[in-house]
Amino acid sequence: MMLLLFIYIVSLLSVASANVEKTIFIAPSAVTLPAKDSTFDDLGLERLSPSNGMLRTQLNASFPIDSKSQGTDSWYFLENLNPGQRYEVRICWLATQPTEFTLSAYTLPEIIEDRALLSAISLYSSSQLATSPPQAATTPIRRGRRSAVADSEPSADSVLFLRISAAADYFSLDQTLMENVPPVLADVILDPFLGNVFPKSLAPTACWISVVACLGIVVARWISREFTRVVNSADIRDPQDVKKDQ
């Protein structure tokens, strides 16, 4: 029975891996961020934080043009992280939209020092601001856990830039689908680790599996005892039957 339980759990994990991709990282040291009116706050990037850790969005995807291409990039901003704590960013999408995702996290110094990354964020930011409503494009996004007075001054925060590359992974006889890849509906989840060991959101699932495993052990032991009792009873009866025959 324990073997069957193990096989069942492994099968669930293999199914989950079909439409889940993730990256694991340790939050960097806090860096000083500019004040609210700077260009930094006007990038137009969607933000994730431990207090607001899930975002449902549509990601643009495309077919890779060469072996080095990973499809279409989308950028996100991770803020209010706890320096030194382990985090996981997962992306979950429908299995009916075959897509290969690549997740990468970069610190602010890495972005500033790498012209290619800085250019990629600038291009993505420009495209996002161009398609956003005028009010949303001109209104900076406030950082969490800060007052209006504090926003006028530089702040220290542990932040990362998250890049999600989406490459279409299908073939269709429909020429329209091959030429125009539809956006992929996905959930982007920022998940802190408990004690830097286990993802917080998976703790209930782990408890449920532990309960099922304990019940499985109890039931297996009960079945084993009952089976042993039946076998012993049969062994006792056999000699008595032999004596009666004699």
Which whole number is the average pLDDT over 186-214? 86
Position with higher pLDDT, 43 vs 123: 123
Q: What is the DSSP letter of 152?
A: G
Q: Which residue has the tokens 């602010």?
A: 108
Res. 41: pLDDT tops 80:
no
Kindly report, residue by residue over 105-145, the tens digit of the pLDDT. 999 999 999 999 999 999 998 888 877 665 444 334 444 44
* pLDDT for the residue numbered 131: 76
Average pLDDT for the chain: 80
3-state secondary structure of 79: strand
Measured in whole angstroms, the distance separating CA 45 from the mean position of its chain's CA atoms is 18
d(CA 121, CA 150): 27
Helices (H), 28-144: 108-113, 115-131, 134-138
Q: Residue 33 class from Cβ within 10 Å (0-12 exposed, 13-18 middle, 19+ buried)?
A: middle
Instruction: Look at residues 162, 35, 160 and name the one whose alpha carbon lies nearest to residue 108.
Output: 160
And the tokens for 21?
Answer: 């991709």
DSSP-derived pairing of the beta strands 46-48 and 155-168: unpaired
Q: Judge whether 140 and 45 are in contact, CB under 8 Å.
A: no
**Banded model confidence at residue 77, pLDDT cuts 50, 70, 90:** very high
% of the chain beyond a pLDDT of 90: 41
Q: Judge whether 165 and 60 are in contact, CB under 8 Å.
A: no
DSSP-derived pairing of the beta strands 31-33 and 155-168: antiparallel
Query: Which residues, listed in sequence order, are joined to residue 137 by a DSSP beta bridge?
Result: none
d(CA 128, CA 72): 14
d(CA 118, CA 116): 5
* pLDDT for the residue numbered 231: 78
